Amino acid sequence: MKLHTGDTVIIISGKDKGKTGTIMRVLPERNHVVVAGVNIRTRHIKKTHQQAGRIVKYEASINASKAMLLDPKTKKPTRIGYVIKDGKKIRIAKRSGEEVKKVRAPKQTAAKKAAPTTEKKEKAADKTQPEGAKQPFWKKLQFGSGAVEDAGAGEGSAAPQERAAPSKAIPRKSAGRGS
């Protein structure tokens, strides 16, 4: 895949045609990219005992063929080529011949800025997942059923153990015939 994280691209087709943004993630196995501020989706999160309901907006991936690199010199859409200089493979912009420099991708998305996070939840999430394991976006944003499991039922749940009815020895009815 010729597009890399941190590249500034322009969207050439679809509902976000003409928008520019920086590539935050590259999904080469699907030939998709996630671009900041493009293809915004809304997810409604149902309330739980641990947190209130909310609406989260996030960037969904788009096909890489819908994004074109912006030429660093002319600021127009361009294709990407490769040239070997001094034994190294270098990406160049076909429009101007300028070298495309590697840039770091932005760290935070609009969805992460909107969702408040705490250090305790981040540390708990790190302990449950092994190093380098991929997580779905809703676990990264700390909502959904995974966050409920990570938080635990004992931490501030709405029904503490004292209010529970005492267990009585009540005989159960059998589920079979003739009962």
The predicted-structure confidence for 27-83, as pLDDT tens digits, reads as follows 999 999 999 999 999 999 999 999 999 999 999 999 999 999 999 888 999 999 999
Judge whether residue 90 has pLDDT over 60. Answer: yes
pLDDT classification of 106: cutoffs 50, 70, 90: low
pLDDT classification of 170: cutoffs 50, 70, 90: low
Q: Which domains does the chain have, with CATH numbers?
A: 1-107 (2.30.30.30), 116-152 (no CATH)
Per-residue model confidence (pLDDT) at position 96? 86
Is-contact 45 53, C-beta < 8 A? yes
Per-residue model confidence (pLDDT) at position 102? 81
What is each CA distance from 92 to 18, 97, 111, 137, in whole angstroms? 22, 6, 33, 33
Per-residue model confidence (pLDDT) at position 159? 47
Per-residue model confidence (pLDDT) at position 128? 56
CA 177 to chain centre: 52
pTM for the structure as a whole? 0.56
Per-residue model confidence (pLDDT) at position 103? 78
Judge whether residue 92 has pLDDT over 50. Answer: yes
